[in-house]
Amino acid sequence: MKQQWRAAKRMVIKLGSSLLVEPESQALKTQWLATLIDDIAAQAEKGREMVIVSSGSVALGRKKLGFAPGRLKLEEGQAAAAVGQIELARAYQQLLAERGLKAAQVLLTLGDTEERRRYLNARSTINALLKLGVVPVVNENDTVATSELRYGDNDRLAARVATMISADILVLLSDVDGLYTGVPGRDPKARHIPEVRQITPEIAAMAGGIGTDFGSGGMVTKVEAARMATSGGTHMVITSGQVEHPLQALEAGARSTWFYADGDPVTARKRWIAATLQPRGVLTIDEGAAQALLAGNSLLPAGITALEGDFDRGDAVRIIDAQGCELGRGLAAYAAEDAAQIIGHKSSEIEAILGYAGRTAMVHRDDMVILGKAKTGKRKTTETES
Ligand code: GLU
């Protein structure tokens, strides 16, 4: 058993629609689900706090409402979610109760995690439930979510929830047993990758093209979830849920891909920044600034070559290099309008340009996370924060 698993106190288990719902009849696979709940109860028995992130509401509801296969209109999807979610909740409540556990339903809307105040509120609710020994069952509130305002897939929602509550491990139960170098079945040379210590562009590229059309998350969203989880301090593992007792199987060494979080503790504030789903802007930086960032320094205006977006002071922005590769995320110390005037300039010139003395850094290191676990100290520092 992995040391990370042994040490884990709090786990988030995410399961997708394709595991929960029979493709033909679109009925809930209650028998399989019962084996997973057995496993969850066994982990809870060992003193672990367990959170479930479950999809399936739309798939279950559309059957009940008799919708034909294919794309649903927004309001049809919302109606299907409302009908399916109540069935889902009932199944979890019953299966958990049979094992002596209490269930709680938590439905989240994008703003509940993107806005700091609401994020803190959602976090304290889930923490309170866990303290009370309850198993929260989380899903997106699809009944009110619209296409612009939604998580869209439960892989990223699960990563958001896992880092929000400082979970030690996020388990993605999927219809694939991990990440491969190619598409298994189609590419004879496709090799399984058991461990990922850094999410490089090569790793992200491997994720392309693998997925099912049933749930909304293919491998791309899983790697994106891994990036969010690991940079927020949570290890993530993808394994097959197509077996009975999938957590027992994982413990016994079933095939899986582990994405490891850095050992360094991540502050609560940085966890929030790392998993921002809708950054408001983009800062492009030069090589010198990229090296400074990776070495743990703040981002100074001098190293920024371009900016996009209409962000305000305090909004989250993406930080990319000249090749467009995302290096990190952080909170802007200046609104876009002011930022546009000071980029490329020395920090000592800020006051003369803007007419007030603002912060030296465009994104302070305390307000920034480096994504993909690029380790500090690998590159040399060429710039230091004044
Ligand atoms: N929230 C959606 C549902 O419950 C599923 C999204 C997903 O599977 O990624 O139906």
State the distance from the centre of ligand 1 to the C-alpha of 154, rounded, in angstroms: 6
* Average of per-residue pLDDT across 105-126: 92
Place of tokens 């047993």: 177
Domain 3-265 fold is: Carbamate kinase (3.40.1160)
- What pLDDT digit, counting tens, does each position of 169-210 carry? 999 999 989 999 887 777 888 899 999 998 888 888 887 644
Query: How far is it, in rounded angstroms, from Cα 247 to Cα 349?
Result: 57
Could you tell me the CA-to-CA distances from 275 to 156, 183, 226, 336 in Å, in that order?
Answer: 9, 28, 10, 21
Query: How far is it, in rounded angstroms, from Cα 71 to Cα 76?
Result: 9
- What pLDDT digit, counting tens, does each position of 62-115 carry? 999 999 888 999 999 999 999 999 999 999 999 999 999 999 999 999 999 988
- Are 10 and 161 within 8 A, CB to CB? no
Q: In what order do the strands lie in the sheet with 316-320?
A: 304-309, 281-285, 316-320, 326-331, 368-370
Query: Could you tell me what percent of the chain has a pLDDT over 90?
Result: 68
Residues forming beta bridges with residue 369, ordered by sequence position = 329
- Are 198 and 227 within 8 A, CB to CB? no
- Ligand 1 is surrounded, with C-beta below 6 A, by 16-17, 55-59, 139-140, 142, 153-154, 215-217
Could you tell me whether strands 195-196 and 134-140 are parallel, antiparallel, or unpaired per DSSP bridges? unpaired
Residue 183: CB partners within 8 Å, gap ≥ 6? 190, 209, 210
Query: How far is it, in rounded angstroms, from Cα 193 to Cα 183?
Result: 12
Pick the CATH number of 277-370 from 2.30.130.10, 2.40.30.10, 2.60.120.10, 3.40.50.300: 2.30.130.10
Phi-psi category of residue 373: left, alpha or beta, with phi > 0 → left and psi -120 to 50 → alpha: left
The residue whose CA has the least distance to atom 8 of ligand 1 is: 215
Quote the pLDDT of residue 196: 95
The residue whose CA has the least distance to atom 4 of ligand 1 is: 55
Smallest Cα–Cα separation from 156: which of 76, 83, 214, 215?
215
Structure tokens, 200: 């490089």
With a threshold of 0.85, does the pTM exceed it? no
Neighbours of 257 (CB within 10 A): 25
Query: How far is it, in rounded angstroms, from Cα 184 to Cα 188?
Result: 7
Where are the strands (E) in 6-127, listed by range?
10-15, 49-54, 102-108
Going from N- to C-terminal start, the domains of the chain cover 3-265, 277-370
Quote the pLDDT of residue 292: 94
* Average of per-residue pLDDT across 114-136: 93
Query: How far is it, in rounded angstroms, from Cα 53 to Cα 137?
Result: 6
- Are 29 and 243 within 8 A, CB to CB? no
State the distance from the centre of ligand 1 to the C-alpha of 48, rounded, in angstroms: 25
Mutate to test the pocket of ligand 1, among 15, 54, 140 (most ligand atoms within 8 A of CB): 140
- Who wins on pLDDT, 71 or 384? 71
